[in-house]
Amino acid sequence: MAGLVVTGTPRADLAVADALSACGVATVHEAQGRTGLLGSHLGPVWPGARTAGTAVTVTVAPGDNTTIAVAMEQCRPGDVLVVVPTAPCDMGYFGDLLATSAMARGVRGLVIEAGVRDVADLRELGFPVWSKAVSAEGTVKGTLGDVNVPIAIAGQIVEPGDVIVADDDGVVRVGRLKAAEVLAASKAREQKEAGSRARYAAGEIALDVNDMRPLLRKAGIRYVDHATYLKEQQR
């Protein structure tokens, strides 16, 4: 039965979330073994949006945003609302009024597998949102979902208190208990990429920077000069 609100849920360290944000979604996703990336159908509603924080998870009834209001009471500074309908719905669950309320409580952003509205106002407010759709069609109130329970959203399971990192590349989830470990791996990847970038800038190509030639030989690559190729085609 819906209507469950779990209070006092533990959160990941916000300093770790901030550091993961600086690394970016693509690096974090790669650093944690290419896991945790939410589906690409969730995109920023305005370009240049970027955030990271701790998840407050919300399920909502189709076409009803009551539980977002319920969840707002549970939000702390540094949280990110992560919202999924209990059945597919593209209606505009969230607009500038709820964004104003969220910002006043220190909420850093919204990830929602549904629609939002008032995009120009959201951008003017500087409130970052990643959604499946934009729709002027508003919702009603009266049917409950749940707050701060594990949810399935865009192909991932998000637990309350997990780290959510989001930017122009998408949204990635980092488990609360693994956040520090993933941060260390992300920083190591950044250092490795800095070395690779210097080699690319010096004129090297990916085959050598990434040591791909043994892989190509194993796969059976064959080089022939143009004249030999023409003769082979005439056989």
Please say whether the beta carbons of 20 and 52 come within 8 A.
yes
Q: How far apart are CA 234 and CA 229, in angstroms?
A: 9
Residue 235's pLDDT band (cuts 50, 70, 90): confident
46-104 pLDDT tens trace: 999 999 999 999 999 999 999 999 999 999 999 999 999 999 999 999 999 999 999 99
- Whether the pLDDT of residue 170 is over 90: the answer is yes
Record the tokens describing residue 235, joined without a space.
């056989």
- Whether the pLDDT of residue 1 is over 90: the answer is no
Q: What is the pLDDT of residue 234?
A: 87
What proportion of the chain, given as a percentage, has pLDDT over 70? 100
Mean pLDDT, all residues of the chain: 96
Please say whether the beta carbons of 176 and 161 come within 8 A.
yes
Q: How far apart are CA 21 and CA 65, in angstroms?
A: 28
What domains, with CATH codes, occur in the chain?
14-187 (3.50.30.40)
Q: Would you give the end-to-end CA distance of the chain in angstroms?
A: 73
What proportion of the chain, given as a percentage, has pLDDT over 90? 97
134-159 pLDDT tens trace: 999 999 999 999 999 999 999 999 99
Record the tokens describing residue 94, joined without a space.
């969230």
Q: Is the pTM of this model over 0.85?
A: yes
